[in-house]
Amino acid sequence: MRLFISNGNKKLGPMPNVSLPPIKTCIENSPCAEKCYARKFSTGFAKHTAGKRWEENWQLWQENPARFELELSNYLTWAEPRYFRWHVGGDIPDENYLRMMKNIAWLFPQTKFMAYSKRPWAWTTEGNELKNLSIIRSLWINEPVADEEPYMFYKVWPKDKEPSSHEIWCSGDCTSCKACWRIKLHERVNIHIH
């Protein structure tokens, strides 16, 4: 079994990313589970392609985390990407995985890494930042947020929500934007549900 690293998708463009299966690596009773866009890769035809690879990544992490990290390190050494996305599907499953993510970011300072998470212990806050790793708090439609909270946010909104001028709104095209890789503490990126 090998680590599967995707070379991109329609939204990300040619940006490498590694994913885990949604739902089983996410928080229990996640508010976005029913409308999770990544779930479609775990059913139907995609279950045999991307979904299968995400399951294999999860199995590799559980059985041999050192090999997971080594294969990712080897890839990053070879490819030297400027940007990398953690988890088109899935979430940071445990604190050991988070340590591995931080170690990878430390080893590859030329690459900007980004992930969204619903796990409070994983969010980037003052004092635990790495200049090249952003772990952004992921919020669903009905989850409130206070402006003074010391996190970066990624908030999903209904399709009829109008953007405010002081907020960053996702264009749906990471190739030309990269706002999520440049976001700072207290800033928020919003996206319409898709």
Report the C-alpha gap between 87 and 106 in whole angstroms: 19
Is the residue at 12 inside a domain? Answer: no
> Token match 């990712």: residue?
72
Is the residue at 45 inside a domain? Answer: yes
Label residue 45 by pLDDT band (50, 70, 90): very low
pLDDT (0 to 100) of residue 168: 73
Is the residue at 156 inside a domain? Answer: yes
Q: Which domain holds residue 116?
A: 17-192
Give how many domains the chain has, as a whole number: 1
Report the C-alpha gap between 89 and 110 in whole angstroms: 24
Report the C-alpha gap between 148 and 84 in whole angstroms: 28
Q: What's the pLDDT tens digit per position in 124-136? A: 776 667 889 988 8
Is the residue at 104 inside a domain? Answer: yes
Is the residue at 28 inside a domain? Answer: yes
Is the residue at 11 inside a domain? Answer: no
Is the residue at 51 inside a domain? Answer: yes
Query: Distances from the Cα of 169 to the Cαs of 152, 159, 160, 191, in angstroms?
Result: 14, 12, 13, 6
Is the residue at 170 inside a domain? Answer: yes
Label residue 93 by pLDDT band (50, 70, 90): very high
Question: Which residue type occupies 13?
Answer: G
The pTM for the full model equals 0.82
Higher pLDDT, 159 or 64: 64
Q: What's the pLDDT tens digit per position in 74-90? A: 999 999 999 999 988 88
